[in-house]
Structure 1
Amino acid sequence: MLWNKNFTLLAAANVFFHAAVYMQFPVLHRWMTDVWGYTGVEAACMTVVFGLSLFIPGAFNSYLVDTFSRKQVCVWSMIVLGLATVAYTGVSSSWQIFVLRILQGGAFGIALMSTGSTLAIDVASSHQRDRANRAFTWSGIVGMLAGILIGLTGVAHRGFEFLFSYSAALLIPAIALIGSVKVCFRAPLDLPLCSFDRFLLFRAVPPGINMMAVPLVIGMLFVSVSDFSFYLCTGLGFLLYLLVRESVRRQVDGRIQVGAGQLLMIAGLMALHHPEGVYPLYIGGCLIGLGTGFSIGQFLQMMILLPLHCERGTGYHTYRLSWELAWACGIFLGVYLQSQGKGLFGAEILIAVAGLLLYQAFTYRYFKRHYQKH
């Protein structure tokens, strides 16, 4: 049974964890521009710094979770993340913001690895681990959407100190839930201090690069759309994808799934940029949420099937790093294009089309060729 007590606790913790992190994107951007006088592009650069910082501790991932208690590694990384968030209320210079953003990125990267790439696999039976990775990812997306909604609503009605404290407070239930998870003790292994294990799986990098087209577009949309209803409809579209996925038991060809996903996203972008009316916002959000589900579902499946023996956690973490980096770069690209007086619609469509063509022309064949070597 996948949804046992331990996995349910982890999935719930993942929702709080992602909500705490993703609510900071709108809050920190507004705080840096309104309080510190950053330009939009400078504030967006700090988001890219956060995305790149996830890679800093990666070489030590395997050593950490196979030498120390995996739960403790996860809990302490979240504590560091929370303390760094609260510390924004006391900064006195720009270099401190830079350091805190790096510290947050590193702590976030370790927490991602120790939850989705380690604990979520540990508490699932061997024949359920594909489903565990997918379900854990979906819980993170729910938390991501919740965090964006909280952040966008909060910056309009609350002070920054309250919002930073609120973000840190959301980590408390996440830490408590993870603390309640029971994981078998693993004896420390004699491992090298640095390795690519649980960091980057090079076999999964090509589909990871292709997958980045999806969060790139979503990051750009985050810059241009701040309406609460849009993100709510995006969540509803994603929920519809989950319902469709559960009701269709037959395996759908990957080319059809990614093709449908990218075409739905393109249709959503076209509806969203309709010149007038409110309904296009709702329709666009639903189509983009539905298309994101179809595309990401297939890319995630590829990246957790490509790993060889004992590489599943590394493949999954490669997926997470690809997503977070592309999301941060999407935000930067959106802000930069707007600062140049350019619209985002053309770039979003171009990225979505490029992602579709790359999959059909290369990634699908790459997966078939390498997966058959198992």
Structure 2
Amino acid sequence: MNDEKSKFHIPKIPMIIWVQLILLAVGYAFYSANRLSFSVGLKAIAAQLALTPIEVGTIGTIFTLGQAIIDIPAGYLADRFGRKRLLVSSMIFLGIMTAIVTKASDAIQVGLARTIFGMAEGIWNIVMYSVAGSIFPAARAMLNGLMMTFYSIGAYVGPAYYGYSLSATGDWTHGLLNMGLVTALFGALLYFGFRKKYTDSSTDVKGMNLIEAIKTVGTNKIVWLAILIQILNIVPYWGFASMGPYLFMTFKGFSAAEAGQFFGMVYGIGGLSGVILGFLADKFGRKPTIVALALLNTICGILVFHFIPKASILLYIVGAIMGIGLHAIYVLGYTIAQDGVSHKQIGLATGLVGASSYFLSFFSGPFMGWLTSTWGHMIALDIVVVTFEATLVFIAFIMKETQKKHPIVLNEK
């Protein structure tokens, strides 16, 4: 019996489109290097500025507030006025803000710089996933996974480089300044690499009124399912990413270099399986993939926090495995939202999911800081990471499958 629905074929993508996808992916590596390296310096920043744990948690996640503010406008404006323009400008600006934060002299200046940084990276994040998610709907999860694979490269290289720089110089500004300047230069070069014909393939949203578009997408049940899934994963994702290095260096005796290596493994090496897991989610469905990964995250969190000693290589291995689940579910949250809307609403749906989840993830930092001050760092990790991921297992188990079958056809003009 020849059942076409049971088959999945990797589409043949022209070289010029691969070039666009690779540029997006490399840009995502720069993006993740900038966003994740900052947390490695939090202990040094806290010492220099005399910050409390709640203040440390706040500046650690405040960039997500900036991202929440910009995500919905970014998705709509990119579809309406041009994705290439926003991709180039946002990459330049996030590099500039990484450099500028090194000139801050108090917590308010650091927080303001990181908030603006979050707005710049929020534009890149939403527009990038809109482009990757609209080129080939039949391979949407796989291509979104390609983006996450390169994100993971930056997420390892950035913190590892910055951790060694901080350990060698004792100066938290040195590595960030270099990283920001190189990123801004790369952003300028993207202007010559991106082709508007391919990045701006979805322009029919120009005929939509913003309020009408938000109403249509905002009442979509699948979009709200995606938001719930994203929240239950992104709160532990960013709570651990922002406060984890500070907590591990303060309470577990990690050096800056060790913290950079470990969290580079979690948020870098752990996400390199994005393409494979995206392929599996396209082949077998979103639901079983999320159930398995959320369960994996829960188990790994318990092992890392309670059972595996610092000196064991197993800590790094389990951390990387945990990173696989955190990254893959992050991508699938956007993918599910894209499953539930029309082609012309992909940018806005992606923005709505990003805005909602990042707004709540902002509170994970100060919440972890408060829990640490009140109940201790282990309770903070268990509540924000383990409990949220365990809840996601249940939600994913009872959800309905969202994936639709798409014909794999390339329309060239």
So what's the TM-score if we normalise by structure 2?
0.73
Cα distance between partner residues in 2 of 1:199 and 1:165: 43
Q: 1:130 to 1:336 in 2, by over 3 A?
A: same
- Name the SS for the 2:341 alignment partner: coil
Structure 2: 5+ residue stretches without partners:
1-11, 249-253, 406-413
Is the contact made by 1:62 and 1:197 (CA closer than 8 Å) also made in structure 2? no
Q: 1:58 offset after TM fit, Å?
A: 4.2
Cα distance between partner residues in 1 of 2:212 and 2:93: 23
Is the contact made by 2:142 and 2:276 (CA closer than 8 Å) also made in structure 1? no
Cα distance between partner residues in 2 of 1:241 and 1:302: 15
Q: Kindly provide the amino acid, as one letter, of the partner of residue 175 in structure 2.
A: L
1:82 matched to 2:95? The reply is yes
Aligned to 2:7: none
Q: Kindly provide the amino acid, as one letter, of the partner of residue 351 in structure 1.
A: F
Q: 1:218 offset after TM fit, Å?
A: 3.1
Q: Deviations over 1:16-71 (max 9, x none)?
A: 122122222333x3454122222121122133432112233345436643564532
1:350 matched to 2:387? The reply is yes
Pairing of 1:14-93 with structure 2 (within 5 A) = 14-27=28-41, 29-30=42-43, 32-58=45-71, 60-61=73-74, 64-65=77-78, 68-92=81-105
Is the contact made by 1:266 and 1:349 (CA closer than 8 Å) also made in structure 2? yes
Q: 1:83 to 1:216 in 2, by over 3 A?
A: same
Q: 1:166 aligns with which of 169, 178, 186?
A: 178
Is the contact made by 1:116 and 1:133 (CA closer than 8 Å) also made in structure 2? yes
Aligned to 2:348: 314
Q: Kindly provide the amino acid, as one letter, of the partner of residue 74 in structure 1.
A: L
Cα distance between partner residues in 1 of 2:327 and 2:61: 24
Q: Comparing both structures, which one devotes a greater share of its residues to helix? A: 2
Q: State which drifts further: 35-44 or 107-116.
A: 107-116
Q: 1:300 to 1:89 in 2, by over 3 A?
A: closer
- Name the SS for the 2:284 alignment partner: coil
Cα distance between partner residues in 2 of 1:163 and 1:148: 10
Give the CA RMSD over aligned residues. Answer: 3.7
- Name the SS for the 2:344 alignment partner: coil
Q: 1:259 to 1:20 in 2, by over 3 A?
A: same
Aligned to 1:290: 324
Is the contact made by 1:149 and 1:228 (CA closer than 8 Å) also made in structure 2? yes
Q: 2:196 aligns with which of 183, 189, 201?
A: 183
Cα distance between partner residues in 2 of 1:275 and 1:22: 24
Aligned to 1:157: 168
Q: Kindly provide the amino acid, as one letter, of the partner of residue 142 in structure 1.
A: I
Aligned to 2:19: 5
Q: 1:178 to 1:316 in 2, by over 3 A?
A: farther
Q: 2:234 aligns with which of 192, 212, 215?
A: 215
Q: Kindly provide the amino acid, as one letter, of the partner of residue 144 in structure 2.
A: N
Q: State which drifts further: 162-171 or 129-138.
A: 129-138
Q: 1:322 offset after TM fit, Å?
A: 5.2
Q: 1:278 offset after TM fit, Å?
A: 0.7
Cα distance between partner residues in 1 of 2:193 and 2:308: 51
Is the contact made by 1:242 and 1:293 (CA closer than 8 Å) also made in structure 2? no
Aligned to 2:4: none
Is the contact made by 1:16 and 1:174 (CA closer than 8 Å) also made in structure 2? no
Q: Kindly provide the amino acid, as one letter, of the partner of residue 210 in structure 1.
A: I
Cα distance between partner residues in 2 of 1:169 and 1:35: 23
Aligned to 1:103: 116
Cα distance between partner residues in 1 of 2:355 and 2:213: 13
Cα distance between partner residues in 1 of 2:162 and 2:360: 20
Q: 1:88 offset after TM fit, Å?
A: 2.9
- Name the SS for the 1:111 alignment partner: helix
Q: 1:114 offset after TM fit, Å?
A: 3.0
- Name the SS for the 1:56 alignment partner: helix
Q: Deviations over 1:122-168 (max 9, x none)?
A: 7x356555543332243334333433333433332332332231231
Q: 1:245 offset after TM fit, Å?
A: 6.0
**What percentage of residue pairs aligned between the two structures are identical?**
16
- Name the SS for the 1:307 alignment partner: coil
Q: State which drifts further: 52-61 or 226-235.
A: 226-235
Cα distance between partner residues in 1 of 2:260 and 2:176: 20
Q: 1:9 to 1:284 in 2, by over 3 A?
A: same
- Name the SS for the 2:69 alignment partner: coil
1:264 matched to 2:296? The reply is yes
Is the contact made by 2:269 and 2:323 (CA closer than 8 Å) also made in structure 1? yes
Q: Kindly provide the amino acid, as one letter, of the partner of residue 302 in structure 1.
A: I
Cα distance between partner residues in 2 of 1:301 and 1:270: 28
Cα distance between partner residues in 1 of 2:101 and 2:328: 37
Q: 1:249 offset after TM fit, Å?
A: 9.2
Aligned positions, number: 364
Is the contact made by 2:87 and 2:124 (CA closer than 8 Å) also made in structure 1? yes
Aligned to 2:5: none
